[in-house]
Amino acid sequence: MLHIINFAHGSILMLALYAGFFLFTLGGVDPYLAVLVLAPAFFAGGYLLQRYVIAPIGFGKDTNVLLVTLGLSIIIDNLALYLWTSNTRTIDVKYAQVFVDVGVTAVALPRLVALAAAVLIGVLFWLLMTRTDAGKAIRAVSKERQGARIVGINVEHIFAVSFGLGCAVVAIAACLLLPTFYVTPQVGNAFVLIAFTTVVLGGMGSFIGALLGGLFLGVVEAYSGLLLGESLGQIGIFVIFILVLLFRPTGLFGARAA
């Protein structure tokens, strides 16, 4: 939303997956319940990170911010590698094996929950952005930083809040992923470019765009995997990413230029 391009997003996802993993194995907390703990915790962590690490070092220059978050992701990834080794970990929950018949095919229950939650979060965010003062402030800051400051909005605070919100959503995503996915220190890397692509494709700052972009990418990934084979299939996403950046940097749905 605020054009903070966060390279550490994948690493934060990885951290959240580990947090969920350890809550489950050590504390016996179900991943879906862990949302209640992890989302606020990651909001707070993200808030502090943006306010006291990224903003002071980035000096507001976007390539600097990119470099800072790159440094952060290097630190987080390798700390995880150091502490938890590169072993792949999974958790075992009963409902991962439950399949729901949706007419054309059977879908694992956790994936269905994830889909429902994604739509729900999309709607909640849209309401937050359009109906609340905080959302108004975020939109104001993203449009006109100096103007927002003049009318009394605490710009640094708003930046940190939106960064924290991003981290909280990542934590929720991690809890949704955990039942059907695995955890390694490198797991986040696969998601970074996909996340960027989704957002760029949908148009920065557009929630409907991000949702549709995500759907479109999923279809592209499935089809390019089907047509080009397993190893070449990943290329689809990167090619789309390059094409969108080159020819339609405002995204397919975003009207405003970045």
Partner 1 sequence: MKRAIALIVLLVFFLALPLFIDSRFWLGFWTTTLFFALLGQSWNILGGYGGQVSFGHAVFFGTGAYVSAVLQVRYGLDAWTSGALALAAGALVGAFIGALSFRYGLRGSYFALVTLAFAEVFRVLVNAWDFTGSGFGMLVPMKPGVANLQFADRSWFYYAILALVALAYAITWRVERSRFGAYLVAVRENEDAARALGINAFRIKLAAITLSGAMAAAAGVFYIQYYLFIDSHVGYGPAMSVNALLAPLIGGAGTVLGPLIGAVALGALAELSSALLGKEPGVNLLAFGVLLLVILRFLPNGLMGLWPRGSS
Q: Which of residues 84-113 bind partner 1 (CB under 8 A)?
A: 86
Please state, in angstroms and rounded to a whole number, the distance separating the CA atoms of residues 2 and 5: 9
Q: Which is nearer to partner 1, 151 or 246 (CB)?
A: 246
Question: Using the rule CB under 8 A, is 220 a contact of partner 1?
Answer: no
Q: Are 21 and 7 in contact (CB under 8 A)?
A: no
Q: Which of residues 133-162 bind partner 1 (CB under 8 A)?
A: none
User: Terminal CA-to-CA distance of the chain, rounded, Å?
Assistant: 10
Residues in a beta bridge with 183: 89
Please state, in angstroms and rounded to a whole number, the distance separating the CA atoms of residues 137 and 154: 9
Q: Which is nearer to partner 1, 87 or 146 (CB)?
A: 87
Q: Are 43 and 164 in contact (CB under 8 A)?
A: yes
Reduced to 3 states (helix: H, G, I; strand: E, B; else coil), residue 220 is helix
Burial of 163 (0-12, 13-18, 19+ CB in 10 A): buried
Question: Using the rule CB under 8 A, is 128 a contact of partner 1?
Answer: no
Question: Using the rule CB under 8 A, is 44 a contact of partner 1?
Answer: no
Nearest distance from C-beta of residue 123 to partner 1, angstroms? 28
Q: Which is nearer to partner 1, 116 or 190 (CB)?
A: 190
Question: Using the rule CB under 8 A, is 68 a contact of partner 1?
Answer: yes
Note the residues at the interface with partner 1 (CB under 8 A). Answer: 5, 53, 56-57, 59, 62-68, 70-75, 77-82, 86, 185, 189, 193, 196, 200, 228-229, 231-232, 234-235, 238-239, 241-242, 245-247, 249, 258
